[in-house]
Structures are given as structure tokens and as C-alpha cells.
Amino acid sequence: MAVSATVILYTYAVRHTTAANAVLLVNSAPIYVAVLAPLVLGEPRARYREDPVRMLRAVRLAAKLGLIIDPAASKPIREMAELLENVPPARLFDEMLKLLTSGHSVNCITRLRDEGLHHGLLPLLDVILEQPLGERFVMLALANTDDRVRAGKGISPGFLFATLLWHEVLAHWEKLKAKGESQIPALYQAMDTASGTVRPSLSRA
């Protein structure tokens, strides 16, 4: 909101000035941003303490718009990532859903990892991304979803979460079959086991 207001005011000022001054204003834009941003947005650490979800939003917007987070705002993210443990699971779920359905989920996941925010956000995500086969499978599914979003086609959040869980389901399924369980009953049991690891983290208050 604050950034949008600043941009609108700046645009208004450019349109209502002389051509010579307009050139000066356009070329001095980085100075305006550098000076006004701290005043408008505030100190990053204080903002993250007020609402840790802002760290996720910063990464999501940067990935979606192809921006680089200012070092002053980026540095505290890794140091303060543990604050997300105090955020209600419903809010984290909502933010992750926005991230996965943004049309830029691959970039978002990559940026989350770069900023040290991927651990513990979505159950099993950190485990999957540390296993080559699991990571490749998930990234292909996310890339396909991104293509559909950008093409204006419908997507299914259920499909996305099934994709994130599949590697865990497969691991349990293979163990059960190795013990002599029939394929179909073993698959249902593996699905129950995998979904059971997610439920507690989504329901904790």
C-alpha cells in the first residue's frame, strides 16, 4: 500500500511538471526511493517482529515481480525465520497456497530456500527438496502449474498438495509391499500414514 502510494504520487508529480524537470525526476527516482522507503516502510526487523508473515510476502512478491530484496530488508529474514513458528498454521497455509498458485511457484520455492525460509513452512517440503528424485518431481509439477496459471487455465490446489505428499506416500508404499502387503491396501495405508504426518502441523494452535 505504502509503495503503491509513493509510486502514484511520483507519477503524478512527473505528469504535472515541465519536460526538463520530468527528465530530472525520472533519473533521480532511485534517490527518491532510497530516501523515502525507510520513512514509509519502516525498519525491517521491527516490521518482521510485528508480523513474521511479511517475510514470506516479501519473498513471494520479489519472486513474482523479478525484484531483488534490498539487503537491509533481506539480511534479517534468515536470522528471524524462527518467528514463523509462532504464526497460526491457518495463516501459513494461506500464504503457501498463494505462493504455490501465484504462477511463479518455482521461483518462489527457490527464493524461499535462498532466504532460509523453506524449512518447516510446508510439511515434507524441506525433506522433498533434499532428495534429488523428489525435488525433480515436485519442480516439474510446479512448473506445469505455473504454465497453466499464466495461460489463464484452471488449477487444483489438491493436485499440488498431492504432488508434495506423493514422494512420502511412495516411500511408505514400497516399505509395506516389501513386507508382503497387497498393493492396493498398502497404497491406502501409505496415504493415511503420509497425510497423518501433515495433520498435526496444520491443526496445532
Please give the C-alpha separations between residue 136 and each of 35, 67, 196, in angstroms, as whole numbers: 43, 25, 24
Question: Where do the domains of the chain lie, and which CATH numbers do they carry?
Answer: 1-41 (no CATH), 89-203 (1.10.3090.10)
pLDDT value at residue 16: 57
Question: Comparing 51 with 163, which gets the higher pLDDT?
Answer: 51
pLDDT value at residue 161: 79
CB–CB of 202/161 below 8 Å?
no
pLDDT confidence band for 39 (50 / 70 / 90)? very low
CA within 13 Å, CB half, 116: 10
Instruction: For residue 193, count other CB atoms closer than 10 A to its CB.
Output: 16
CB–CB of 64/110 below 8 Å?
no
pLDDT value at residue 192: 87
